[in-house]
Structure 1
Amino acid sequence: MKRHQRTVAAAAALMGVALLATACASTGSEAAPEGTTAGSVDAQNGRVAVSYEGGIAVLDPDTLAVIDEFETEAFTRLNTFGDGRTIAVTTSAGFQVLDTGEPALTDLVFDATAPGHVVPHDGKTALYDDGTGTTTVLDTAAFADGYTTLPQGATYTAEAPHHGVSIVLSDGTLLTTVGDETSRSGAAALHAHDDHWHEEAVSDQCPGIHGEGTAAAEAVIFGCEDGALLYTDGKFVKFTAPDAYGRMGNAFVTDTSPIVVGDYKSDPDAEGYLLNAVTLIDTAAESYEVVDLPDEVQYTFRDVARGPGDLAYILATDGSIHVLDPESGELTAAYPVVAPWDGPAEWQDAHPAITVSGDIAYVTEPATNSVHAIDLMTGKTVASVELDHTPNELAVASS
């Protein structure tokens, strides 16, 4: 592969970053337990949830056999809660709790007028309600004793509702986006203090901020319409894209690599949802680059995952999983998995998706109503199932 690289040096720490001179109280949390691989998963943990029109199926992670199915709304989204068992299902009423261990689609619902992102990290899970701008912070282990009651958590409400996201770091810092109903501009770092939140740092240098990812050393990245925004060591750092419009909307990370792999779009007027380049952000070196991919390697926001060796795995429209080495920016292997496919007309439309647990990649193939399990160490398909419905989203109840 010929590598086309556009590198941009990191900007200095942003002007306007506000640091508190006084200390604020923070709440620490124990690290979440490490997840197991799909091949050694406990019967009550690590199961796979697959959404389809009007329902959700729970699959065995080894055989992909359907354990149970549940009726739900026509379109739902699936969000890993982070405890190895729970999935937060996005519905019109809020975040409904799916217990993949029983399994059961419970009556427990975290109310939200427009439920958005769910982000588990280091023992805390943050639920974001776009309709009110409210972040609810819960213990990731909140359901350890069962699903009898809805757990309560701390809340923070933004100055204005917007399509946002929040994450809680190990020292209790709440990172949350800033915006309103018409636009989004950046992010803030907050600490809980008595009955209010203290602002530790803020940046307004991330137009259209969307998505987040936490790399090694708790370096947090957000996507912007003109690059990316990094939070590290108590400050924000802006990366500027090489194109006037250079949107990153999703970050793909591991907690052992400083390098973030992001999607990338340089044409705001491009039709459809297929992308043909990625961003590589080294959060330790504070460097940013855009790597153009071969013509056949086109993908959507559902088609990138990180896996063994901190590598990135791209499920492309040619039907193969392409292995990307984030250190070099090179594609090192390709594993044929599904038939070639076309990009969706709308982002909600069913199209191939990938998620990874341990050494196993789970891939949907809507054209055949199938889900496949691929061993990423060998590229071999180790299990497949044909469902009675067309799979849309999928999530693994990982920890």
Structure 2
Amino acid sequence: MNLGKTRITTALSCAALAGSGLLVGCQNEGEARPATASSSEARPHGHVEGAEEAAEQQLRLVLAGAGAAGVLDLTTGEITSVKGSDGVTGLRTDGRFAYVSGSEGTRVIDTGSWTVDHGDHTHYYRAAVRDAGSVAGHDAARVHGDPAVTAVTSSQGSTRLFDRQELEGGAAPRGRALTGAGGGPVVPYAGHLLAAGAEAGEGAVEVLDRSGSPVASLEEPCAQARGEAVTRRGVVFGCADGALLVSEESGEFRAEKIPYGTAVDASERAADFRHRAGSTTLVAPAGEEAVWVLDVADRSWTRVETGPVTAANTAGEGAPLLTLGEDGALSAFDITTGKRTAHKELLAEGGAPAVIEVDTTRAYVNDAAARKVYEIDYNDRLRLARTFPLDFAPTHMVETGR
């Protein structure tokens, strides 16, 4: 494998967390409690004004379609209606905020559910769902964020940066245009911005500071960058010859190519990664008849012959590969053997496209035709655990709180 290293001095962690209002001292955690202590009282570790800290992840699904939208609380089963967008074309999330692309721009929804990872321990929060405003004339084709900033890249390749502190404070998002990043994806990472396909050169991955000024160009290129994902091992970019894994340690950025190991036609490249947040196992369509599985930890690709699929995902770490076939059936595959282990008729054939969202124990599938969302226990032969009826057709879905 080819390796490329770039040394950059940074003092990100505390500054970024302080800027997002999430920097706190560390001590033993208590049980779930409302973060509403008065200024005269000693605030508990993890205190966030206006939010409640919980003992486990507070997962929520954002659903949108045809001028309507809602946030489904997976803990309580309650649905909160929010202002929708006409002509919904996409829905993305940075983990807490949802970005609904419509005919006039992007509407931002604070889902009131998020996770703060301190490395040796984690905090989970829940708060009220609220409308955070809209961004006219800018869709959200790609969205990636960290505790300090969220980068929203449009389908035209322009990127706007949003200050997380302003978003969390309820201010209507304005953002600022990022210049010098080229037309590829932009990912906030380790106090910097990673920009694939930047203006510095064809296939270059640039390290930019938060103002957008170039700091360094990684030695290992990523030709025809398409698709990206953030994992615990670093940021993955899809390239013509495989994947590029960019990681950072002590201010040193390192780029490592994970090649396919065989010739892959352009139509069968991995270009749209899906995975469980935090997982190091990614999936992506491999043409019309198969699905790629990228194990970032093992630096390996596996091609699973699934037949035609409309959606795929996996929780990773020994979990099955989940796919939706063109006939609307949900299937589970053993990634190691490539064999199908379970099959369930779920959606009507020829219905609206659906997605599969996954967490550590459940998967969720949106059914626009039936106006429902299905919760699936993928460890129990795709058992239908819960069904959530809706009063609108959920053509788009993302999960937050992770």
Establish whether TM, by shorter chain, passes 0.5: yes
Deviation at 1:125, TM superposition (A): 2.9
Aligned match for 2:264, one of 235, 243, 247 = 243
3-state DSSP of counterpart to 2:12:
coil
CA distance in structure 1 between the partners assigned to 2:279 and 2:57 by the alignment: 29
Q: From the superposition, tell whether residues 354 and 234 of structure 1 become closer, same or farther in structure 2 (CA, over 3 Å).
A: same
1:121-132 residue pairs with structure 2 within 5 A?
A: 121=146, 124-131=149-156
Q: From the superposition, tell whether residues 176 and 112 of structure 1 become closer, same or farther in structure 2 (CA, over 3 Å).
A: farther
Aligned match for 2:295, one of 282, 295, 301 = 282
Please state if 1:223 is matched with 2:248: no
CA distances 1:52-71 after superposition (whole Å, capped 9, x unpaired): 11221222325655432534
3-state DSSP of counterpart to 2:233:
helix
Aligned match for 1:333, one of 326, 341, 365 = 341
Deviation at 1:377, TM superposition (A): 3.4
CA distance in structure 1 between the partners assigned to 2:93 and 2:210 by the alignment: 29
3-state DSSP of counterpart to 1:396:
strand
Deviating more after overlay: 128-137 vs 277-286: 128-137
1:12-31 residue pairs with structure 2 within 5 A?
A: 12-13=2-3, 23-25=8-10, 27-28=12-13, 29=16
Please state if 1:167 is matched with 2:176: no
CA distances 1:57-105 after superposition (whole Å, capped 9, x unpaired): 222325655432534212242222323xx31222344432213344443
3-state DSSP of counterpart to 2:369:
helix
Q: Share of identical aligned residues, percent?
A: 21
CA distances 1:170-221 after superposition (whole Å, capped 9, x unpaired): x3242222168xxx953513142888321241554422x2221233422x22
Q: From the superposition, tell whether residues 67 and 137 of structure 1 become closer, same or farther in structure 2 (CA, over 3 Å).
A: closer
1:10-49 residue pairs with structure 2 within 5 A?
A: 11-13=1-3, 23-25=8-10, 27-28=12-13, 29=16, 45-49=58-62
Q: From the superposition, tell whether residues 62 and 243 of structure 1 become closer, same or farther in structure 2 (CA, over 3 Å).
A: same
Normalized against structure 2, the TM-score is what? Answer: 0.71
Q: Residue 73 of structure 1 corresponds to which residue in structure 2? A: 86
Q: From the superposition, tell whether residues 337 and 138 of structure 1 become closer, same or farther in structure 2 (CA, over 3 Å).
A: farther
CA contact (8 A) 1:26 1:193 kept: no
Q: From the superposition, tell whether residues 396 and 282 of structure 1 become closer, same or farther in structure 2 (CA, over 3 Å).
A: closer
CA contact (8 A) 2:320 2:378 kept: no
Q: From the superposition, tell whether residues 94 and 213 of structure 1 become closer, same or farther in structure 2 (CA, over 3 Å).
A: same
One-letter code aligned to 1:330: G
Q: From the superposition, tell whether residues 150 and 307 of structure 1 become closer, same or farther in structure 2 (CA, over 3 Å).
A: same
CA contact (8 A) 2:85 2:101 kept: no
CA contact (8 A) 1:251 1:261 kept: yes
Unpaired runs of at least 5, structure 2: 24-31, 33-52, 113-127, 248-252
Aligned match for 1:389, one of 389, 392, 400 = 392
CA distances 1:103-156 after superposition (whole Å, capped 9, x unpaired): 4434x23455343211134665322234463341543x6544x41444767x63
Deviation at 1:363, TM superposition (A): 1.0
Aligned match for 1:299, one of 305, 309, 313 = 309
Normalized against structure 1, the TM-score is what? Answer: 0.71
Deviation at 1:364, TM superposition (A): 1.4
Task: Return the structure number with greater relative CO, CA threshold 8 A, min gap 6.
Answer: 1
Unpaired runs of at least 5, structure 1: 1-10, 266-274, 345-349
Q: From the superposition, tell whether residues 258 and 58 of structure 1 become closer, same or farther in structure 2 (CA, over 3 Å).
A: closer
One-letter code aligned to 2:152: L
3-state DSSP of counterpart to 2:309:
coil
Please state if 1:147 is matched with 2:137: no
Q: From the superposition, tell whether residues 260 and 127 of structure 1 become closer, same or farther in structure 2 (CA, over 3 Å).
A: same
Please state if 1:213 is matched with 2:229: yes
Q: Residue 115 of structure 1 corresponds to which residue in structure 2? A: 140
CA distance in structure 1 between the partners assigned to 2:369 and 2:212 by the alignment: 52
